[in-house]
Amino acid sequence: MENENLFISIDFDKGNFPKKHTCDGENISPQINIDRIHSGYLAVIVDDWIGPSERFTHWLMWDFESRPVIPENIPKAALITAPFAAVQGTNDFGSTGYRGPCPHPGEVHTYYFNVYGLDTILGIPAGSKRDVLEDAMKGHVLQYGGQAIATYSR
């Protein structure tokens, strides 16, 4: 049963990605602000919906204690210990951690930041893919964060 929804935002929500968060810049993860947390743990999934039923995953992170801010520039390691302990999965680029927008020149893509409030540590292996994370979250999602949305073009 889900509680009140989380409220999430990024500084450029409904705007364009700053270059530093893309492949054209430093490619560092953006800060995510989270409000109304009533869950012990969080998970993050960032997607680019490139077609009506096709998505490309840019970031998977889970098994970290709830907090009001996920700071920018989270290390790209599968297991991180700072700025907090967390586990990261393999994105659709084939690497772990955050990897920012990098659409083909002339294309505008839309990116969705999703945060889930969970009732437990999932305990799935670091480097797991999205389907493993989604399966592990079944029955453990207490809150969902709506979506923060941003676009990027090159």
What average pLDDT score do residues 59-77 get? 97
Instruction: Report pTM.
Output: 0.93
pLDDT the model gives residue 1: 41
Answer yes or no: are the C-beta atoms of 34 and 67 closer than 8 Å.
yes
Q: Which two tokens stand for residue 63?
A: 């098994």
Answer yes or no: are the C-beta atoms of 98 and 89 closer than 8 Å.
no
CA distance 35 to 139: 22
The strand pair at 54-65 and 7-9 is best described as unpaired
Residue 106 pLDDT > 90, yes or no? yes
pLDDT the model gives residue 145: 74
What average pLDDT score do residues 33-49 get? 94
User: Percentage of the chain surpassing pLDDT 90?
Assistant: 81
Answer yes or no: are the C-beta atoms of 140 and 2 closer than 8 Å.
no
Contacts of 80 (CB under 8 A, 6+ apart): 74, 86, 87, 88
What average pLDDT score do residues 80-103 get? 97
Of the pLDDT bands very low, low, confident and very high (cuts 50, 70, 90), residue 146 is low
Architecture per CATH, 7-153: Alpha-Beta Complex (3.90)
Residue 103 pLDDT > 70, yes or no? yes
What average pLDDT score do residues 114-134 get? 97
3-state secondary structure the chain: CCCCCCEEECCCCCCECCHHHCCCCCCCCCCEEEECCCCCEEEEEEEEEEECCEEEEEEEEEEEECCCEECCCCCCCCEECCCCCEEECECCCCCECCCCCCCCCCCEEEEEEEEEEECCCCCCCCCCCHHHHHHHHCCCEEEECCCEEEEEEC
What average pLDDT score do residues 128-137 get? 98
What average pLDDT score do residues 1-30 get? 84
Residue 97 pLDDT > 60, yes or no? yes
Residue 102 pLDDT > 70, yes or no? yes
Of the pLDDT bands very low, low, confident and very high (cuts 50, 70, 90), residue 52 is confident
